[in-house]
Amino acid sequence: MKKIAVLGITGSIGESAVEVIRRHSDKFQIVLASAHKNKEKLALLQNEFKFKNQVLTGEEKNGLSGKDILSGKLQEADYDICLNAVAGSAGLEYTAAVLNRGKDLALANKESLVMAGHIIMPLLKKSTGKMIPVDSEHSAIKQALGNETGKSVKKIIITASGGPFKNLLLDEFKNITVEKTLQHPTWDMGAKITVDSATMMNKGLEVIEAHWLFDAPYEKIQAVMHPQSVIHSMVEFTDGSILAQMSTPTMQLPILYAFGYPERIESDLVQTSLFDLPDLTFRRLSKERYPLFYTALEAGKAGGLLPTILNAANEAAVSLFLERKIHFTEIFKLTDKYLNKFSNISNPDLETIIFNNTETYNKVKKDYEKMLKR
């Protein structure tokens, strides 16, 4: 019986994890769970799974922030593997805490590597714990790579659905609403990541994450549009062969793979019939349609503190969009504006990263409020 900590249990990834655990209750047990503000849902889950440790990170208790309480629980609780499904930059410190303790980490929080890959990967090498990616794309890459070494890899190919606006005329982008943006054609995700999927920022972050996870130079990582979302990623080898991982799209499968790793667990969670699959197609990502993807690539290649500034500015811009304060096309403009304002710092420490992430996020939001008052 594996003891599991689920961070972000009330979010979309957390919900998928709960279903995996529910269906495999003979193999997995929740011992620690966190949510940000959804007290009611957390209480319902605690009543069902009877976990002893629960934390609301959005609330203070006995003079301690929820975030500090959770960090403490990660050092004290008895768990075998932690699923970090916290959304956004808030998950970075938990990733470091789990690895520092030497526990296995199922990583769904891509910002941990985007912002601090140069810190997290050396930490992983020193840790007695393993890190298994939960993003469907990175789980697919890990499975396709198998025991192959970097020398035999010609290219890592990350697939992208293209989001809800892949076929929309560019002239129509001015009419995009929040409601239309949140209607993802394939995946049921949280609001922020669904917007990132529409702008293709999500795919830019995934390329940066793949760079760190698989020690791959950026020129060996390619993103392609694959609207059917059946092939989750591919690896092309130096002999010309390509290995792909494919299945009916569901987050439950990469979560099950991570929880069971290094073993595969027999399950009926996912059924994929080759005869029922749609025709599989692939397209290049248009720079005109998805400028934020290419901005993310440049920030990743530059390294240092720029990926943090990119992430923070985008988080703030997406927040403003979801609050209906800016237009969809302004997400790119705002993110690019603050990225270009910043003088890069190479090899920043964790404290510098966290400080600049918060500063940039707050500055974008405050500057917008100042603009309204003019």
pLDDT tens, position by position, 338-374: 999 998 999 999 999 999 999 999 999 998 887 766 5
Of the candidates 71, 112, 107, 108, the one whose C-alpha atom is nearest the C-alpha of residue 89 is 112
Q: Give the CATH number for residue 123.
A: 3.40.50.720
Residue keyed to tokens 């949140």? 182
Q: Report the percent of the chain where pLDDT is more than 90.
A: 90
CA distance 335 to 62: 38
Inside any domain, residue 232: no
pLDDT at 271: 87
CA distance 29 to 79: 9
Q: Over 90: is that where the pLDDT of 149 sits?
A: no
CA distance 328 to 181: 9
For the chain, what's the residue count? 374
Of the candidates 296, 287, 364, the one whose C-alpha atom is nearest the C-alpha of residue 330 is 364
CA distance 280 to 248: 12
Inside any domain, residue 31: yes
Inside any domain, residue 330: no
Q: Report the percent of the chain where pLDDT is more than 70.
A: 99
- Total structural domains within the chain: 1
Q: Which helix (H) or strand (E) holds 355?
A: helix 350-373
Average pLDDT of the chain to the nearest whole number: 95
Q: Where residue 183 falls among pLDDT bands split at 50, 70, 90? A: confident
pLDDT at 352: 96
CA distance 118 to 105: 17
Contact status, residue 4 vs residue 29, Cβ threshold 8 Å: yes
Inside any domain, residue 344: no
CA distance 32 to 180: 36
Neighbouring-strand partners of residue 237:
153
Strands 53-56 and 153-160: unpaired
Inside any domain, residue 293: no
Task: Give whole-number Cα distances, 274 to 246, 254, 271, 279, 280, in Å.
Answer: 10, 19, 10, 10, 11
CA distance 70 to 66: 6
> Could you write out the DSSP letters of every residue in 102-137?
T-EEEE--THHHHHHHHHHHHHHHHSSS-EEE-SHH
Retrieve residue 78's tokens. 């008895």
pLDDT digits (tens, 9 = 90+) for 229-288: 999 999 999 999 999 999 999 999 999 999 999 999 999 888 899 999 999 999 999 999
Q: Give the number of other Cβ atoms within 10 Å of residue 175's Cβ.
A: 11
Inside any domain, residue 105: yes
Of the candidates 132, 136, 328, the one whose C-alpha atom is nearest the C-alpha of residue 226 is 136
Inside any domain, residue 64: yes
CA distance 272 to 248: 5
Residue numbers of the domain that contains 64: 2-133
Inside any domain, residue 266: no
